[in-house]
Amino acid sequence: MSVEPGSPDGPPLSYEAAAGRVEEIIRRLDSGEASLDETLALVSEGKRLIEQCAGELAAVAGALEELKLDELVSRLEQEATGQ
Amino acid sequence: MSSPAGNDPAIPAGIPESQLAGPFPVGEYAAKLRDRLREFTHVQLLGELVNLRMARARVYFELRDAGGAIPCAVWRRDWDAMLAGAGETPAEGMQIVVAGGCDYYPGSATSSPGFSFSVSDLRIAGAGDLLARIDRLRKQLDREGLLEHQQRLARPLLPRTIGVITGESGKARDDLLAALARRGWAGRLVWAFAPVQDRHAAPLITRALGELAGTREVEVVIVARGGGSLADLLCFCDETLCRTVALLSVPVIASVGHHTDRTLLDDVAAVSCSTPTHAAEAAVGIDCLRARRDQAAAAGRLAEHAGRALGVRSRQLESARRLREHGRRAVLGRARRLALLSRAPGAHLQRQRSSLHQQLREIRAGSRRRLESERSAGATRALVISRKASSTIAECRERRPRELERLGLALAGHDPQRTLERGYVLASSPQGRPLATAEAARLAGELSLRFADATLPARIEER
C-alpha cells in the first residue's frame, strides 16, 4: 500500500511543498471554517511540517563550510574506503 | 628633432660604438612617430568588432579577423553620430567596416602611449563569423532539444550543498559569498576554481562541471564570471561545454558577463543570471532569514489555533460533564418524587382532607362572624331609627297643636265674619258679586247686605 508523501509514515515533503502546505493549513484555520476535529488534525500536521522545515533551515544555518572540489572528492573517497 | 647627445651637453652620450643615430628624447620621437603615422593613407578596414569599451570621451574596440587585429578608437561624439547614421548599434561579434587612419598617442611622463586606428566613419556589414557560428550552434542545440533539458530539472529551494565554478581571484567569488550571507544561507559551498577566459577555459570548466555533478552531494552548480567582451566570454559558447551542461542532471545556474551579454551557456543552463548576486538568489530560492521569521510566525499562529481549539474542546467536555450532572440530578429528583408518591398516597389524601376541613372550618367561622356583625349592625340601626321615630312623634305631638292654633288664628284674622261682627256690612249683587264702590252699588240698583247675623235685600234710591 502506498503512503502519501508528507503523511507521518510517508516520505517527507520537499521544503517548498512543506512550506506551501503550512500556508494552506493556516489559511484554512484562519477561515474559521474548519471543524474542531479538523482544526486539531491540521494543527498537528502543521506542527510536524514546521518542524521539518525548521530542520532543513537549521541545516544551512550554522557556519558556512567552504571546500575545494579536490577536498570534497578526497573526503568522499575516504568515506567510500572506510565503508 | 633635437640634436643627438653628442652635440648637446644636456643630453647624455649614447651607446658606444653604436652606428644608430641618437639618442633622441623619447617624447620628440613619439611626436614624430605620431606625425608619420598620421601621414599614412586613410583606408577602410573590415573585421569583427570585439572588446567594445566605452570611456567618457572615447570609444575603444578591436577589429579582428583570422589574420590579425587592429585597436580602434573614436571620439564619443563621433561614435554617437555614426550610430545615428547606421540606424543600428554595433555589438560584439558584428562584422563592421570602419574608415579612418593610423594614429598614435605619444603619452607623457605620467601616461602610457598607444597606437590606434582613428575611426572617422563606420558601417555594420552583418553578423560576424563568430556570431554566425554561435548562432548556428544555438539552433543546432535547440533542434536537439538541449536548450530545455536543464530548465525541466527540479531545482531545490533550499540546497544544502552548492557547487561554484569561477576564477579563483575573480570578484564573482566575493559577490556570491556576500549574496549568500545576505540570504542567511550557510550550507556547504564547494569551489571548483577554473580559468574563465582563455582557450583552455572551456575544457577545464567542462571537467569541473562533471566532477561536481558526479559527487551527488552537490544539488546545484553556479558558473560565475564577471563581464567582458565577446572574445573574453567565448569559452562559454564552447560546444562541448554546452552539451555537457545540457545533459547534466544537476541544475546549472549561469552567471556569465553582464545583462547585455548572452552566451550559449545562458541558453542551455537551467537559469541565466546577470550577476553573481542574482545567481546566489536563484540557487537559494528562499530568504532563509525571512523563512525563519515566517516559520516562527506560522508556529505562533498554529499554537494560537491549537489553544483555541483545545479551549473549545475543554469547554465541550465541561458542558458534557455538566449535562451529565444535570441529567443525573433530574433522574434522582424524579425518582425521589415517584418514590414519595408510591410510598404515601394515603398520607397525601389525609393532608388534602385536613386541608379541606380546615378550609371548611374557616368558612363557617367566617360566616358566623359575618352574621354576628351584621346582626349587631342591624340592631344598632333599628335602635337609631326607633329613637329617631320617637323623637319625631313627640315633636309632632307638641309642635302640631301649636302650629294648628297659629294657623287657626291666622286664618281667623282673614275671616270676613269677624269683620262683620265688628259692625261692618258686605254689599254684593244679587248674584253674589261683591260691590266694593258706591258707583257699583248704584249701577247694580238691587243689592244684598250681609250682616253678621243675616243678609237683607236692599235697593238703591236716589233722592
Among the partner-chain residues B217, B295, B309, the one whose CB lies closest to the CB of A36 is B309
Q: Which residues of A touch B294 (CB under 8 A)?
A: 19
Average pLDDT over residues B24-37: 94
Q: For position B217, what pLDDT does the model report? A: 87
Q: Which residues of B touch A26 (CB under 8 A)?
A: 298, 301-302, 305
Retrieve residue B254's grid coordinates.
549561469
Kindly identify which residue of chain B lies nearest to residue A56, measuring between CA atoms. Answer: B158
Q: Is the pLDDT of residue B225 over 60?
A: yes
pLDDT for position B39: 93
Residue B128, pLDDT > 70, answer no
| Nearest-by-Cβ selection for B189 from A25, A42, A66 | A66
Q: What is the pLDDT of residue B408?
A: 65
Is the Cβ of B167 closer than 8 Å to some Cβ of chain A? no
pLDDT at B300: 87
- Option in B192, B217, B291 nearest A57 (CB): B291
CB proximity list for B212: less than 8 A, separation 6 or greater: A69, B163, B165, B190, B192, B218, B221, B250
Q: How far is the C-alpha of B165 from the C-alpha of B204, rounded, in Å?
A: 10
Alpha-carbon distance B50 to B1, whole Å?
38
Q: Which residue has the higher pLDDT, B54 or B12?
A: B54
Q: State the average pLDDT over residues B34-54.
A: 92
**Contact at CB, B295 and A57, closer than 8 angstroms:** yes
More confident residue, B409 or B243: B243
Residue of B nearest to A36 (CA): B309
- Residues in B touching A54 (Cβ below 8 Å): 292, 295
DSSP string, A44-68: HHHHHHHHHHHHHHHHTSSPPEEEE
B27-41, B125-139, B280-294: which range is least confident on average?
A: B125-139
Band the pLDDT of B129: cuts 50, 70, 90: low
Quick one: what percent of chain B has pLDDT higher than 90? 23
Kindly list the residues from chain A whose CB atom is less than 8 angstroms away from the CB atom of residue B286.
15-16, 19
- Choose between A67 and B393: higher pLDDT: A67
ipTM exceeds 0.95, yes or no = no
Question: Hey, are the CB atoms on B302 and A25 less than 8 Å from each other?
Answer: yes
pLDDT of residue B82: 83
Q: Roughly what angle, to the nearest 10 degrees, separates helices B345-413 and B288-343?
A: 80
The pLDDT confidence band at residue B114, using thresholds 50, 70 and 90, is: very high
CB contact under 8 A, A61 and B306: no
Which of A33, A43, A50 to substitute to test the interface with B, most B CBs within 10 Å?
A: A43
- CB-based contact A25 B184, cutoff 8 Å: no
pLDDT (tens digit, 9 = 90+) per residue, B147-168?
Answer: 889 988 888 888 999 999 988 8
Q: Could you read off the pLDDT of B413-438 as tens digits, one per residue?
A: 666 677 788 888 888 888 888 888 88
Is the model more confident about B227 or about B46?
B46
Segment B304-337, tens digit of pLDDT: 888 888 888 888 888 888 888 888 888 888 888 8
CA distance A42 to chain B (A): 9
Q: Does B329 reach chain A within 8 Å, measured CB to CB?
A: no
Residue B343 clears pLDDT 70, i.e. is over it: no
Side chain identity, residue B188: R
Q: Is the pLDDT of residue B5 over 60?
A: no
Question: Comparing B53-62, B401-410, B452-461, which segment has the lowest mean pLDDT?
Answer: B401-410
Q: What is the pLDDT at residue A14? A: 82
Cβ–Cβ gap B309/A22 under 8 Å: no
Using a pLDDT cut of 70, give the percent of chain B over it.
91
What integer pLDDT is reported at residue B42 of this predicted model? 93
Host H or E run for residue B461: none
pLDDT tens-digit map of B243-262:
999 989 999 999 887 656 67
**Does residue A3 register a pLDDT over 60?**
no
How many Å lie between the alpha carbon of B213 and the closest alpha carbon of chain A?
11
Q: Rounded to an integer, what distance in angstroms lies between the CA atom of residue B219 and that of residue B160? A: 7
Integer Cα distance of B64 and B347 in angstroms: 131
Q: What is the pLDDT of residue B314?
A: 85
Distance from CA of A60 to the nearest CA of B (A): 4
Lowest mean pLDDT among A19-23, B80-84, B183-187: B80-84
Note the pLDDT tens digit of each residue in A10-63. 777 888 888 889 889 989 988 888 888 888 888 889 888 988 888 888 888 878
E strand spans, B114-265: 114-127, 161-166, 188-193, 220-225, 252-256
Joined grid coordinates for residue B198: 582563455
